[in-house]
Amino acid sequence: MASASVKVAVRVRPFNSREMGKESKCIIQMSGNTTRIINPKQPKESKSFNFDYSYWSHTTPEDVNFACQKQVYKDIGEEMLLHAFEGYNVCIFAYGQTGAGKSYTMMGKQEKDQEGIIPLLCEDLFTKITDNNDNSMSYSVEVSYMEIYCERVRDLLNPKNKGNLRVREHPLMGPYVEDLSKLAVTSYNDIQDLMDSGNKARTVAATNMNETSSRSHAVFNIIFTQKRHDSDTDNTSEKVSKISLVDLAGSERADSTGAKGTRLKEGANINKSLTTLGKVISALAENKKKKKVESFIPYRDSVLTWLLRENLGGNSRTAMVAALSPADINYDETLSTLRYADRAKQIRCNAVINEDPNNRLVRELKEEVARLKDLLYSQGLGDIIESESPVMHFKLFPLRFKCCKESYPMSKANILCTYIIRNQWVRQL
């Protein structure tokens, strides 16, 4: 089991037309991994936060400090894809106020060098599969795409199904969406076509703060299966990774967005689920500080947090990208986002490689045999390993120790004995 903290990055975007029209001033400063926010009402007052990554995307690409789409993917996406190939579940989600640049970071635009984390990761996934020359390995990829709109789950790959899909809980696999489409893909073009059709079906609307405001949370899941056939034992091992890529709807204030009627109802449901997500993150962060008594975590208070339960403090490697507005008119929302991200840093996830227990035992024994083999070579006992019957040496060890204790120190004997025993186990399995 690998315990690791949630990776947290923040990214500040350029001014939008609304902010430029109000002659807004930039209140965000970044230096290395430190992000500083200045109070516009009291310029001498500022707050600093440290994250795993701080991306300055406020200026133009000509700026040496400018963080482009590929830089964000290289730091976050490549690491998470590597964990997926190792057999871990992974999750990347974007959080921030409406119009802060979440969808741009996750999905990007269909222009050169404007692709977001999701398309770049999918393209890189199939590139690595294609470049693999190991004939003992085989891969399969399945995808699903859903949105959570007003606490209801919709299938974006089957938009004709307007009904509310039910969230169930499997005793071993955890929460899942019943009757959600899961389609097999064999190339990046297949995924791209499905993403395009899903994005067209997603609920968006114009508000005062964002002309293409996402009115729902979108979750793009990739089920990545790796099979390895061992010709020596005629055994096939399998590792299954679930890659969850989440574009959250933005938190918003009704007076800023000018929301009325349906837009107001949508905003209320968005804020409800994001508030629950905040409570879950806070509870998980508090539990890390407590050694004995753990507080209740309200996963079931929202469909979003229920579905993301494993990604938040469970069996997953998780990364969060917090999108920031640089404008002084959004100071309160930006400060809230930074605090949100700062709490998320404290969450620890206990990820495990998703494979059959017997296959895991064989893999771990083989790794230990290889490690012991290297130790024996370093101790000058390579001739025993290369001999036809190292077991005979094992039987002769007591005699050798009796005749000359200095010939083989006890540490070497322990290493050799363990190596032979483990190697016999592997052969029997």
- The model's pLDDT over 380-414, given as tens digits with 9 standing for 90+, comes to 666 665 654 544 444 444 434 443 444 444 455 55
Please, which residues bridge with residue 139 across strands?
Answer: 226
Degrees, nearest 5: CA angle 283-289-292: 90
| 77 annotated as a binding-site residue | no
Using CA atoms, how far residue 302 sits from 126, 243, 250, 265, in Å, is 34, 21, 16, 16
Model confidence at 420, pLDDT cuts 50, 70, 90, reads low
| 97 annotated as a binding-site residue | yes
Separation between Cα atoms, residue 250 and residue 269, nearest integer Å? 11
Model confidence at 77, pLDDT cuts 50, 70, 90, reads very high
Q: What is the pLDDT of residues 82-117, one digit of tens each?
A: 999 999 999 999 998 888 888 899 998 888 889 999
Q: What is the pLDDT of residues 175-220, one digit of tens each?
A: 889 989 999 999 999 999 999 888 888 776 555 454 555 678 889 9
| 102 annotated as a binding-site residue | yes
Where do the domains of the chain lie? 3-359
Number of H helices, E strands in the chain: 14, 18
Separation between Cα atoms, residue 374 and residue 99, nearest integer Å? 55
pLDDT of residue 5 exceeding 90 = no
Query: What residues are annotated to the active site?
Result: 99, 101-104, 247, 250
| 101 annotated as a binding-site residue | yes
- Largest Cα separation within the chain, whole Å, is 93
Q: What is the CATH number of domain 3-359?
A: 3.40.850.10
Structure tokens at 197: 């059709």
Please, which residues bridge with residue 10 across strands?
Answer: 54, 322
Q: What pLDDT is attached to residue 46?
A: 92
Structure tokens at 408: 């083989």
| 100 annotated as a binding-site residue | yes
pLDDT of residue 28 exceeding 60 = yes
